[in-house]
Amino acid sequence: MNGQIFIIYHLSKTLAKERGVAVNINKCNPLAGDPADCYDVDFLPVGTGKDEIVRFMLNQYDLSKDQGFAFGDSGNDLRMLQSVTHGFLVQNATAEAKRHHHQICHHGYAKGIYETLKTVMYKHEEAHS
């Protein structure tokens, strides 16, 4: 971590603590159109985030964790991916995310999502027929 990033990291953590919010810092994904060598810094109210949204939707539609799907491409998606059984990184995900989550689509972008949904749904149909 270079000096500027180190300072921004600690400043972000300090500000988040002072303001009573959570902070999520992740390397941007150039394969998704983000600038190279940059970071996303998300400040979020405590108790909110993509994982909370997924849990809300599962509850709203009376679905189990096993019936949920989530797809992501970077470190700020990891908690969301872990909130369901079928949480996948698309192939074009950041290396950082791939180090921490091991369910990865065989393809990137929308094709990865489509092919993964097809495969999982087909296996589900076979198991229940």
Could you give all domains of the chain from N- to C-terminal order, each with its CATH number? 3-127 (3.40.50)
d(CA 30, CA 21): 27
Give the per-residue pLDDT at 105.
98
- 47 phi and psi, to 5 degrees? 85, 10
pLDDT of residue 94: 93
pLDDT of residue 33: 86
**Phi, psi at residue 20, to the nearest 5°?**
70, 35
Instruction: Copy the structure tokens of residue 3.
Output: 């000096």
Q: Look at strands 86-89 and 69-72 and give their pairing.
A: parallel
Token pair listed for 12: 């972000």
pLDDT at 1: 56
